[in-house]
Amino acid sequence: NAGVTQTPKFQVLKTGQSMTLQCAQDMNHNSMYWYRQDPGMGLRLIYYSASEGTTDKGEVPNGYNVSRLNKREFSLRLESAAPSQTSVYFCASSEAIGTNYGYTFGSGTRLTVV
């Protein structure tokens, strides 16, 4: 079982470049999430998708866009990367709300913007 797969694992961008982080889950989960984690800080929600066809902003959405391509895939796009977006990005998925199931996370993407 692959669970949640994120690509790439590492990326270095120059300021102003764009890129898309890919995420796919094979657990038939409805909800998917993108978080970023910075040193000394907890995970902060960027965007989430309650179900296929819906996306909503989280706590720190500025500078990002997302696409819920289908039930399996949820991508995160940086249109014009900035040094402040240097972080570790985690994708997660979850069963329907109203349960005690937690999240399953991908292994993360370490992004450096120079």
* Backbone angles phi and psi of 84, in degrees to 5: -65, -10
**From candidates 1, 28, 62, 100, binder to another protein by CB under 8 A:** 100
**From candidates 36, 64, 94, 111, binder to another protein by CB under 8 A:** 94
**Is residue 42 within the footprint of another protein (CB under 8 A)?**
yes
Site map (CB under 8 A) of another protein, residues 16-35, x = contact: ---------------x-x-x
Residue numbers at the binding site for another protein (CB under 8 A): 31, 33, 35, 40-43, 45, 48-51, 56, 58, 90, 94, 96-108
